[in-house]
Amino acid sequence: MKGSDKVIEILNEVLAAEILAIIQYESHHYHAEETLALKRLGEMFHETSEKEMKHMEDLSERIHFLEGLPTTKLLGKPAPVGDAKAMVEANIELEYDAIKRLNRGIKLCCDEGDNGSRALLESILKDEEDHADEFEDVRDLIDSLGKHYLATLVEKKP
């Protein structure tokens, strides 16, 4: 089914941002686990990345369905690794950017009369809002409890 060029373009922009998120979360995952020895934090980044991988899959499937070609580009550069708080803050920013882009995309899909693509972007938006919320909780706990909270992130979830 041939989709609108504008819809395919925004789906590809969202896809390129998902690819960037996966690269960023996987490098933060490795750094948290191997360099900072915060296995639970690394696990959190990896679990989020797995959700982004599912988004990547769903977006490329939708783009193929609309007879477009999924991009292989990254949208921007991954945030560098750093201490726990710096990485969590960078990840909150990444999720905020995704939320803005998705809201813009949902509006565009409505304007173009493509409710199938709109529904996909809405379901992704819900996940990104949850990710932002989870990372905000981690940031707030680092701020309020500092090293006592970080100590709880050493071991993976039982």
Three-state DSSP at 139 gives: helix
Cβ-proximal residues to 20 (8 Å cutoff; 6+ apart), any chain: 74, 75, 76, 77, 78, 94
Other beta carbons within 10 angstroms of residue 67's beta carbon come to 10
Which of 19, 25, 131, 150 lies at the binding interface for Fe ion (CB under 5 A)? 131
By beta-carbon proximity to Fe ion, the closer residue of 73 and 146 is 73
Our finding on whether 118 is near Fe ion (CB under 5 A) is no
Residue 32 has φ and ψ, to the nearest 5°, of -65, -45
Cα(115)–Cα(130) distance, integer angstroms? 23
Is 52 flagged in the annotation as binding? yes
User: Dihedral, CA atoms, 68, 73, 75, 77, nearest 10 degrees?
Assistant: 170
> Considering CB under 5 A, how many residues would be counted as binding Fe ion?
5
Q: Which is nearer to Fe ion, 31 or 55 (CB)?
A: 55
Q: Does 44 belong to an annotated binding site? A: no
Q: Which is nearer to Fe ion, 124 or 142 (CB)?
A: 124
43-62 footprint of Fe ion as x/- string (CB under 5 A)? ---------x--x-------
Closest contact distance (angstroms) between CB of 139 and Fe ion is 15
- Enumerate the known binding-site residues for Fe cation: 18, 52, 55, 95, 128, 131
Interface with Fe ion (CB under 5 A): 18, 52, 55, 128, 131
